[in-house]
Amino acid sequence: MSWYLALIAVITVERLAELVVSKRNLAWTTARGGTEYGLGHYPAMVALHVALLVGCVLEPILLDRPFLPALGWPMLAVVLAAQVLRWWCITTLGPQWNTRVVVVPGAERVTGGPYRWIPHPNYVAVIVEGAALPLVHSAWLTAIVFTVLNAILLRTRIEVENAALASLGGGQERSDRGRSR
């Protein structure tokens, strides 16, 4: 169990690093006239992602969930793959990546990296990780609750993001302006 708690701690530190990058990028986009959309759903997104990490810790402890190697090891591999995809998205978008939906007028369309194949690859990483991370230590209730609530939130998030991108006048100039937490 201690290695699993260490994994959750590492993921938490990674999220904090994302927030540092996001804050820096928000300053960059704001300085270039970027407009933020979807302020209303952002606090719910943050709360949901914090709850995921808390649930990953509490459910195995409080409900005495065992580590099942046949489930846990493959889910760990999926979590690691989701991290690779997430950071591929962040590096591909560069200073325009953000945890918020921010559109910079006249921004160039990003067609490289994972955006060649998937419209919202960062959200794929979020969906996959949200299901897999709790299952590393059999926290299936956390996986189900997060997945359902995240699906509801992502529907709103993607609608806001697509509308914001359409405001550029050129349609969907960017496939993913931020990452739902």
Kindly provide the residue ranges of all beta strands, DSSP E only, lying in 39-154, ordered along the sequence: 101-103
- From the list 112, 50, 107, 114, the residue with the least C-alpha distance to 84 is 114
Neighbours of 53 (CB within 10 A): 19
State how far the Cα of 115 lies from the Cα of 176, in Å rounded to an integer. Answer: 8
Question: Could you state, in order of their start, the residue ranges of all structural domains in the chain?
Answer: 2-166
In CATH, what number does 2-166 get? Answer: 1.20.120.1630
What's the pTM?
0.86
Closest by CA position to 160, among listed 147, 149, 172, 143: 172
Q: How far apart are the first and last CA of the chain?
A: 25
H/E segment holding residue 35: strand 35-37
pLDDT in tens, the chain (181 residues): 899 999 999 999 999 999 999 999 999 999 999 989 988 999 999 999 999 999 999 999 999 999 999 999 999 999 999 999 999 999 999 998 999 999 888 887 677 899 899 888 999 999 999 999 999 999 999 999 999 999 999 999 999 988 887 776 554 434 344 433 3
**Residue with the two structure tokens 């991370």:** 133
